[in-house]
Amino acid sequence: MYGKVLYIFSKGWVKALAETYFKKTFRGYNPEQVDSFIISLSDTYENNVKEHDDLLRAAEAENARLRDEIAELQKTIEDNAVSHKEEIAQKQEDYDRLYAEIGEKMVVADNRAAEIIKNAEKEAAFILAQARNDSEAEAKAVRQQAEEEAAKLIESTRLQCAEISAKAEEFRMRQDEMNKTISETEKRFGDALNKLREGFGG
């Protein structure tokens, strides 16, 4: 060999090898110096390769861990979404039931009031027929009492309906808040997942 040592290893060591000179002996380069340099260079190269492999394995392990974390986060979001949807469905069912109860109570109250008035009118007519002169005042009193009772029943029912309506409105507001919270949570987790995927190759 003469001049510079030729390329023998990977490109990381090309420059070092290409620019290395050895002292010449009478018959050429000093063999011991050449062997010592090659061994040293080989050891350094192997150490670098080992370090590279270690870093690569660590990166792969970290990437796998992050993928598992992403999958777990996604599953958590999906599970929470299902749970919240079931809760919303139950709230909606309660909401519909309350409004149905309001309608039923109003119908019952109207029918009951009409029945009371009708019975009072019959009773008053009967009393009038039996003794028109002496019982007219009593008939009016019976009718008035029936009307007052019907009015009280209607008012009581309306108060109950108002209370149910207030509860239904409260349920509706809570449902709106829950929907908003779910949307914000899904968006927050979605953004976090996207950032993780962008940072580690999805």
Q: Which domains does the chain have, with CATH numbers?
A: 11-199 (1.10.287)
Residues 154-199: pLDDT tens digits? 777 777 777 777 777 777 787 777 777 777 776 776 676 666 666 6
Integer Cα distance of 157 and 10 in angstroms? 92
Q: How far apart are the first and last CA of the chain?
A: 52
The predicted structure's pLDDT at residue 86: 73
The predicted structure's pLDDT at residue 56: 80
**The pLDDT of residue 144 is above 50:** yes
- For 42, the 3-state DSSP assignment is helix
**The pLDDT of residue 202 is above 50:** no
Provide the β-strand partners of residue 149.
none
Residue type (1 letter), 72: E
Integer Cα distance of 4 and 18 in angstroms? 6
Angstrom CA distances, 99 to 30, 91, 171, stand at 102, 12, 11
- For 200, the 3-state DSSP assignment is coil
- Percent helix, strand, coil in the chain (nearest 5)? 85, 0, 10
Taking residue 164's Cβ as centre, other Cβ atoms within 10 Å add up to: 16
pTM of this prediction exceeds 0.85: no
Average pLDDT estimate for 14-25: 52
**The pLDDT of residue 57 is above 80:** yes
The predicted structure's pLDDT at residue 137: 65
